[in-house]
Structure 1
Amino acid sequence: MKQEIKELVNSRITEDGMVETGIKGVSLFKVTNAIPCAPAVYEPTVIVILSGKKEAILDGEYYVYDNSQYLCCTVSLPVEAGTPNASPDEPLLGIYISLDTKVMTELAIEMESSTSVVKLPKNSSQSPGMSLADWDDTFSDALLRLLQLGENKADIAILGESRLRELYYAVLKGNAGISARRAFGIGNQITRSIEYIAQYIEKNVTIDELASLVGMSRAVFHRKFKQATRMSPIQFIKSMRLNKAAMKIAEGMNVSEAALAVGYVSSSQFSRDFKRMYGQSPKQWRQSTDLIENIV
């Protein structure tokens, strides 16, 4: 089944880059050049690799995955991502599937309400916001059925949403299910707080404000947030700001504008924090990314 999926994708993307499938949130990508890991922000998504390897780094922890596992990111996360091993002989080929938070929430709550589904352990710790999951038959079958819609606009219009929903359900049932159901199901306070941070990244959001938003004490919020993201709220906000700024600079925005866009009032403080995190100044970063083409 994996081979059939790979052939479908290969037939639709012949050059480096990303290609929309026509199905909302589903894209195909191909990379034949090695790209070192660089700052990025992963939104809620599933990334499926069909050939080659991809890397993502979250707070110093490496996630290296290929066609044996897919990556599931359930919340917005500041990461470093790249394809350091891609080459013309061994290209990276894959599928990017954005997770619709509304649909995922509906499914997760339906699953938790169903007597036929095993409940999550009440006293288990919150799973990380990013995890690797083995392909299983349910996931493979749902992915194949989704891609078999091809480019037929009528098929996509009529069946696209239902087949995407089927894939989401496969994710929720699979190895990444605990992480996904905690993020999107009942009691998804940490996800809501991260959405709030992302929405107001340019503002001085405090921990007390976030804890109050989700109805937790400061101490409980801090603990649950770190369980979900591997970072404290302060570390997370700083990483998210700097990663977003690095992406804006790589896209051509000047350093001062990028700093202001993510909430830095002082350009000198921004430069110090940037160099501390990435080992080079914002201007050096821009020069080093001139030849790097961004990919998911």
Structure 2
Amino acid sequence: MAEINLVEAVNLALAHALEHDPDVLLLGEDIGVNGGVFRATAGLQARFGAARVMDTPLAEGGIVGAAIGMAAMGLKPVAEIQFTGFIYPAVDHIINHAARMRHRTRGRLSCPMVVRSPCGAGIHAPEHHSESPEAMFAHMPGIRVVVPSSPARAYGLLLAAIADPDPVIFLEPTRLYRLFRQEVADDGAALPLDTCFTLREGSDITLVSWGAMVQETLAAADALAGEGVTATVIDVATLKPLDMQTILESVTRTGRCVIVHEAPRTAGFGAEIAAQLADAGLYSLAAPVQRVTGFDTVVPLARLEYTYLPGVARIVDAARKAMAA
């Protein structure tokens, strides 16, 4: 079993899907000859041909619009948006067509497509390259939103997304692409969508996160253990539909919850989790839910980037505040 990083896991999953399903095809800017800006599709055009791994013009609306047409006719396109900050021209197609295809046709057509895009800060990128817009997509009925946090979950969740009969927004944390390696079997085994993953069990507090921030959250759990506080760590993974039951069951045991994400605080997806905890788990809570998030600003340039991103110290402080209540 090979040890690979997250971007290699994405490549491996795409290759497996292309090899085993003739309806799968890839399209996006520079994904073919160049293998993508992060090399997530490196070698795939040479292996599967330009008819299945297609370079497109620099036109995000055109990429997603074409993918919707392909999906409606029974293909399974995987469209890459080079950076998530460039996805907004395609949002019209995603909202008004991809997300509504099944509803609009009363089930006659579905839209089995995936829109992949690197997301998030932490690589010293310029403006428009560091957004975390998962809450915006989670607000749209008719699509799934998936954010992997490790190579193994990227591989299994991407295969599941490609097999899904409805559109999936698959956001890949750029900071994790080459951060660490993990053993991943290229066995074609998909991981379940719409399911949270419990990474660590503890009895004192529940820490909830997704994507790149799972790494800081796990490190915060280690720091809290040194203070005698045991934390359950939950990786949400699929934000929409949300597996709220796993979170509720954990908070019922621990009585305290800290939610961590790097997107801005206002209307971030953490607010939805907190609201559902208030609706269904209020009497289990021994303290107010804490949120540790990015700030309500554009992600700053390199010098201040890690001031913007939630760090271990901020997560630990929020946990201490919850424990003291």
The TM tier, using the shorter chain, reads: under 0.3
Structure with the higher helix share, 1 or 2: 1
The normalised TM-score by structure 1 is: 0.26
